[in-house]
Amino acid sequence: MHLVWDWNGTLLDDFHIVVESTNAAFVHAGGQPISADRHRRNFRRPIIDFYSDELGRRLDEPEFVRLNDVFHNHYRAAMISCALAADAHDAMASWNGTQSLLSMWYHDELIAAVGRFGLSFARVDGSREFREHKAEALAEHLDELKIKGEDAVLIGDSIDDAHAAEAAGARCVLYAGGFTDPDVLRGHGAPVADTLTAAVLLALR
């Protein structure tokens, strides 16, 4: 069995700077900052819809692109302070099969970040083009690894991770320590774990 890890909000403990970066974008647009709890409850894709809902007005595409740039510039400046999730190393060590990493973050920057933490995977893929959802990326990732969906499990922190796994015919375990409110995750129906080590135990079952 092969394990695909998500990066942002799962192995990388970066939710605090995601909220900070989102709020930088909202303030730039004349809006108000939101709390971490509100972000966890309300975040959804397409992200333009999330931004529009929180700002109380419909964004057009050019404005969203500008706000997305504000987000990413703030995130890049802050990400150097991020650490891995507290039990990330233990969780990875407890898996008895092959492991890879798939993220929606920019590929070249992902490779640099993974190298900074000294991590090693069978394959690492980030975004080489903008995609709103992970399903197509996961299918390509598994295809490059020559692994069938039914022989893989994905651990991630969002409903989009669960949808991607379902589309690929893979299993999914959702991690409650990331971007998404645990009640929202449990409402989906996939197994939910409070820690990464617990997520691996569920995946092994």
pLDDT digits (tens, 9 = 90+) for 62-80: 999 999 999 999 999 999 8
The model's pLDDT over 4-37, given as tens digits with 9 standing for 90+, comes to: 999 999 999 999 999 999 999 999 999 999 999 9
Range of the domain at 107: 2-14+83-204
| pLDDT at 132 exceeding the cut of 80 | no
30 and 94 assigned to the same domain: no
Query: Cα torsion for 173, 164, 38, 9, to the nearest 10°?
Result: 60
Are residues 157 and 66 both part of a single domain? no
pLDDT at 134: 94
Domain count within the chain: 2
What band does 159 get if pLDDT is binned at 50, 70 and 90? very high
First to last CA, the chain: 11
**Are 97 and 162 within one domain?**
yes
Same domain for 7 and 22, yes or no, is no
Look at residue 133 in the predicted model and tell me its pLDDT: 85
Last residue of a domain, one of 60, 80, 100: 80
Phi, psi of 24 (to 5 degrees): -60, -40
Is there a single domain that holds both residue 93 and residue 64?
no
The string of pLDDT tens digits covering residues 116-131 is 999 999 999 999 877 7
Q: Indicate if 106 and 166 belong to the same structural domain.
A: yes
Domain boundary among 80, 99, 123: 80
Same domain, 8 and 19: no
- CA 76 – CA 92 distance, rounded (Å): 25
pLDDT tens string 84-122 = 999 999 999 999 999 999 999 999 999 999 999 999 999
Clarify whether residues 163 and 178 are in a common domain.
Answer: yes
Domain CATH for 181: 3.40.50.1000
